[in-house]
A and B are shown apart, each in its own frame.
Chain A
């Protein structure tokens, strides 16, 4: 009796984490794709730990697609991979990306190629396939990650099944840079220290206002109390160290004095530089 077997993902891959730079690179490649191409594909590099694939880097690979066949520039892929390894040997091949919505016909063939590549590299994980819907088909940014598992009849392989895995799109680096900069098409000026600080303070202020309002509402009985939120607020308040006003004043004033001393020092140095320059030019006239 032939048994239709479905191998559940033998891999330890549970989820995947996408870095913002990869997304930007894919968008850039798509914008710069050749005239006749519908989609761009490319290689993903990154690292694996505890079943989480971190996708850290990527590069596009030229390819040709017709109705029934896909030609991938394998040499290009290998050259580029070697070049990338020279810079950062810790970033290894983890999979491939393609633009477009979901998995399409030619994808199985390309995926097979990457499965082989990864096997050769003796990687412990199967490749991940990332799709980025650059066409915004459903009116939303759909970015998905898949791993494939084999569907076979007895020993005969029948098909490959692509299974979606959770994708972490939080992108901490992008947060560091600031979404304000990455979100708009043109930013005229980078925010400096104080402007950034001001924005942060404003956000903090509005958050405090919100909490204030919420607590007020609960106390007045306008909003049903939520124990979780209440506990969270209590914890937050408890985390502020208790200090006597005198002690706090002392710490505060000390800190302020330190800072003032530093500012004073730096202006002193600057003045010194000014004088030194004047003296040097005077010496030249001699």
Chain B
């Protein structure tokens, strides 16, 4: 009896440790924002990535600094070099008192086409080492329209569980009630600046009433952006229909197999009936050696889920830009009437 008391305390401690507050906000320093944007813009049109450094404080993940990765090359020697680079950079930054805690990574994207299997893979890799990590996605093409296109993403826990066990059958998904919306979770971003930096910016803010972002926002031509968006959308639709064909094929095969199994079973039962009448042992009603009992592998649904996500992303972008265009057009009309 005396033994149980301390153990229950330990258990209580263990359970309370496990329940970490959910991640609510990603707080990025202005420095990190600028560094991400600089790196992503400089290397356009190639896509780049980098590491985020910061602190994990309760339900807030602070991103205080970051550093870029060199452009990856398919060469083992260079890959080892890349790992060295990362360690070296972390060591150097620690020496000047930068938080040296990896909290995730950032990457640039083209028209928001970031929902790929690779992204999930990277997430899983990071998640192995860090309990809480985010991916910050920056879209230079959208930013050219005068929006700060930064997004903080993470995978939802339920999706991660399924992915880890590679359980992407329709049954499991239904059981967990996981739909395509539940793969990624967007976390609101907060920007913070040191008092010093904010003082400098307030001092140095030009007197001009019109800023570069205003010009970007009021540009009338959106056609190139829209066109590419639509192109991507059409590609995705094609991919989706290919995926759906795959499923149809699977279901057709499945039902054919079931029919075959039924007929086989019928035959076997008739046979057994005959054997019973003849006083013989009945044959088993299953035959694993028969090819028609081999289960057909259900194709994974990850791809189609990701494509669906992608499509809805494009739709949102098209909607957003179209609304902006309406605004601009009516403004133009008003100006012209004057």
Residue positions of A touching B, CB distance < 8 A? 19-21, 23-25, 27-34, 40, 56-57, 59-62, 76, 79-80, 83, 86-88, 132, 134, 136, 140-141, 143, 169-179, 181-194, 196-197, 200-201, 203-204, 206-207, 240, 243, 248, 252, 255-256, 259-260, 262-263, 265-267, 269-270, 273, 276-277, 280-281, 283-286
Contacts and interface: CB of A to CB of B under 8 A. Distances in A.
B335 interface: yes
A35 to B, nearest CB: 10
B92 A259 contact: no
Contacts of B273: none
Given A60-B96, A178-B148, A252-B329, A21 B205 contact: no
B190 A197 contact: no
Interface string B184-219: 000011111111111111111110011111101110
8 contacts: A60-B96, A171-B204, A178-B148, A182-B201, A193-B323, A200-B213, A204-B331, A255-B329
A83 B150 contact: no
B174 A183 contact: no
Contact of A252 (B96, B214, B333): B333
B232 interface: no
Interface in B304-338: 308, 311-312, 314-316, 318-327, 329, 331-333, 335-336
Given A86-B70, A283-B247, A277 B308 contact: yes
Contacts of B202: 183
A189 B37 CA distance: 18
A31 B31 CA distance: 12
A186 B190 CA distance: 7
Contact of A262 (B196, B218, B322): B322
Contacts of A31: 194, 196
Q: Which of A32, A87, A286 has the most CB of B within 10 A?
A: A87
B132 interface: no
Given A27-B31, A194-B323, 7 more contacts: A28-B197, A32-B96, A143-B200, A181-B33, A248-B336, A262-B318, A269-B315
Given A86-B70, A204-B218, A277-B179, A29 B96 contact: yes
A169 B204 contact: yes
Interface string B58-89: 00000011001110000000000100010011
A185 B209 contact: no
Contact of A182 (B30, B70, B81): B30
B246 interface: no
B308 A273 contact: yes
Classify the secondary structure of A's interface with B: helix
Given A196-B217, A255-B325, A280 B148 contact: no
Shortest 5 CB-CB distances between A and B: which pairs?
A141-B203, A175-B212, A284-B170, A266-B315, A21-B34
Nearest to A22: B34
A185 B143 contact: no
Contacts of B329: 252, 255-256, 259
Given A62-B95, A76-B95, A256-B326, A266 B332 contact: no
Interface in B1-52: 29-31, 33-35, 37-39, 41-42
Given A87-B70, A176-B216, A273-B312, A30 B196 contact: yes
Contact of B315 (A197, A200, A270): A270
B171 interface: yes
B147 interface: yes
B80 to A, nearest CB: 13
B148 A177 contact: yes
Nearest to A73: B95
A172 B212 contact: yes
B326 A19 contact: no
A203 B233 CA distance: 34
Given A32-B97, A263-B318, A176 B335 contact: no
Contacts of B126: none
A273 B197 CA distance: 46
A193 B320 contact: yes
Contacts of A187: 190-192
Given A134-B196, A207-B210, A181 B38 contact: no
A30 B31 CA distance: 13
B148 A191 contact: yes
Contact of A185 (B69, B193, B316, B323): B193
Contacts of B312: 270, 273
Interface string B221-246: 00000100010010001001000100
A181 B312 CA distance: 28
Given A141-B204, A182-B201, A284-B171, A174 B192 contact: no
Given A184-B198, A252-B333, A33 B170 contact: no
A204 B316 CA distance: 27
B180 interface: yes
A83 B206 CA distance: 34
Contact of A203 (B31, B37, B210): B210
Nearest to A188: B190
Interface in B142-176: 143, 145-148, 150, 170-171, 173-174
